[in-house]
Each structure stands twice: as structure tokens, then as C-alpha cells.
Amino acid sequence: MLTVAELNEIRTRVRKQLRVRTNGSPVKIVIASGTTAISSGSRAVMAAALEEIAVKGLSTVQVEQREIDVPATEQTAVLVCAHGEEVLYKQCTPEMVRELISKAVTESAE
């Protein structure tokens, strides 16, 4: 038998997973994709970002990817959008993105 508290627990847990479908997260991390980004290692940056979010259990963060128009040498670019502000980080490595998330994102999220 399910209690109301257990019902609410499921709601809270799964709602985080469904946030992707609302496009309404307060924090978005856009990781550059496209040829120059991918060749500079953006896939590894993406993997690191996702892992870090999972580890930290951040529910209000949304990860997107699209082409970010910066010179090839500046890849991998990462755009952090939080509360109406956008900050562009260049030449991101997996380590950097982990740090970015744990600092900038953890502070602004929740």
C-alpha cells in the first residue's frame, strides 16, 4: 500500500527526470557541438558534464548542445545560462566543465 508521502516521493524524484521536456529549467548548459567542437573533444566534455550532474543530483539543470560560433581554436565552448545571464566559457576540458558545474551551477541552481 502506497502512502501519500511515498506518492510525493515518487513525484519529486521523477519530476526531475521530466524537466527536460518542459524546456523550463532555470539553468541551461549549452555544450558546443558541430565539427570543430567535436574534433576538439566536446563529446568528452559532454560526458563529463552529464556525469557531474548525475553525481551532484542536480535536477534543475538542462543540458543542450548546439553549434556555438567561436573560432576553432576556442573550442570546446560552453555556454552557461542561468537566471537570464549567459556566460561563455572557451577551451573547456572535461575537468573544467566539472568544475564549472560544481561551482557556478551548484550556486545558482535550487
Partner 1 sequence: MAYVRSHVLVCAGTGCTSSGCKAVEKAIEQEVSRLGLDSEVKIVETGCFGFCKIGPIVMIYPEGSFYCYVKPEDAAELVSEHLLKGRMVERLLYRDVQNPKPTAFFTDIGFYKKQKRVALANCGAIDAENIEEYIALDGYQALANALTQMTPAEVIHVIKQSGLRGRGGGGFSTGLKWEFAARSPGPIKYVVCNADEGDPGAFMDRSILEGDPHAIIEAMAIAGYAIGASQGYVYVRAEYPIAVNRLSIAIDQARQLGILGKGIFGTKFSFDLSIRLGAGAFVCGEETALIASIEGKRGMPKPRPPYPAVRGLWDKPTLINNVETFANIPQILRKGAEWFAAMGTEGSKGTKVFALAGNINNTGLVEVPMGITLREIIYDIGGGIPDKKAFKACQTGGPSGGCLPASLLDTPVDYDTLTAVGSMMGSGGLIVMDESACMVDVARFFLEFTQEESCGKCVPCREGTKRMLEILERITEGHGTPDDIDLLVELSATIKGASLCGLGNTAPNPVLATLRFFRAEFEAHVVDKKCPAGVCQALLSYSVIADKCKGCTLCKKVCPVDAISGTLKQVHIIDRAKCIKCGACVPKCPFKAIVR
Which parts of this chain interact with partner 1 (CB under 8 A)? 1-4, 7, 10-11, 13-15, 17-18, 20-21, 23, 25, 28, 32-35, 38, 46, 50-51, 53-54, 58, 62-67
The H-assigned helical ranges of the chain are: 4-18, 35-39, 42-56, 94-100, 106-108
Question: What letter does residue 17 receive in the DSSP assignment?
Answer: H
Task: Report how far Cα 44 is from the mean position of its chain's Cα atoms.
Answer: 13
Classify strands 27-33 and 61-67 as parallel, antiparallel or unpaired: parallel
CB 107 → partner 1: shortest distance, Å? 18
Q: Which is nearer to partner 1, 63 or 96 (CB)?
A: 63
CB 17 → partner 1: shortest distance, Å? 7
CB 93 → partner 1: shortest distance, Å? 19
